[in-house]
Amino acid sequence: MTSDAIRLDGKVAIITGGAGGIGAATARLMSARGASVAVADIAFDRAHALAAQLPEALAIALNLEDEASIAAMVAQTLDHFGRVDVLHNNAALLGPDIAQNDGDIEHMDTALWDRTYAVNVRGTMVACRAALPHLRASGGNIVNTVSNLALQGHMIQAAYSSSKAAIIQMTRAIAASHGPSGVRCNAVAPGMTATPALLAAFPAPLRQAVEDETLRDRLGEADDIAEAVAFLASPAARNITGQVLVSDGGCSSHVPGIARFRAFFSGEQA
């Protein structure tokens, strides 16, 4: 039986990047737990198709590089539902072309770096800024999607990982600034998650390398991350703010190279 504390009955949630992957899984889960959801995405047709499947949902076209588009997202949600209780900042600049070019700093393209920060960091900031007065009025909260790469060094995705680290600090700043007025702000840090975008961006050998370092038998899936987001958005997490909940199958919890140690002690190698 679902605990009343994790229910979202009567709540209104805005989910950016809500048309696919983690965003879509979160929209479905929050809807199943009683929330009305605004599915905001640059892919409006997909957002509309998902919203049509949910009992109380609104599709919104969103461009995180455009401040007016972000303001309109909040305004449309208020016009349609009358309130905002949750802002889930999930959208980010992703895709195979981005991932292939987001490498180390020495070879970083300035335009890619600037656009990554414009979408991931500035877009998240503007969304928070637009929503905060309404979240204060409702006693609502913010959940930001970051990444376990924001907590660790890697040889790839310098722009993406550092932008997500900036959002972690933004999460703490909002929690500190707005906690006394009743607004919580937390982040969820997924590891490599088997979404369609991820599967398209990373070849199987790289996915397997990460899977070998998990403490489970598979990569995480979008539904796994949605559960973490919905928990933090719910009254069950009422005493949690300014925190980063890592949901990466244990990848960031152990010493490097555990997969090789596991193989050694199981007799799989000499």
Order of all β-strands in the sheet with 141-145: 57-61, 36-41, 12-16, 86-89, 141-145, 184-190, 244-247
State the catalytic residue, choosing from 35, 116, 121, 160.
Answer: 160
Closest CA to 76 of 8, 119, 14, 142: 14
- Residue 182, C-beta contacts closer than 8 angstroms, at least 6 positions apart: 136, 139
Q: Which two tokens stand for residue 14?
A: 């805005």
**Beta strands 86-89 and 12-16, pairing class:** parallel
Q: How far is CA 247 from CA 57, 180, 223, 244, 265, in A?
A: 27, 28, 11, 9, 27
Residue indicated by tokens 């997490």: 237
Q: Which two tokens stand for residue 163?
A: 């932008």
Under DSSP, the state recorded for 32 is: H
Q: How far is CA 149 from CA 63, 166, 183, in A?
A: 24, 12, 26
**Annotation marks residue 160 as catalytic:** yes
Q: Which two tokens stand for residue 205?
A: 């050998």
Long-range Cβ pairs for the range 203-206 (8 Å, 24+): none
User: Under a CB-based contact definition with an 8 Å cutoff, are residues 97 and 197 in contact?
Assistant: no
Q: Which amino acid belongs to residue 11?
A: K
Distance CA 250, CA 270 (A): 26
Distance CA 241, CA 259 (A): 33
Residues with a known catalytic role: 160
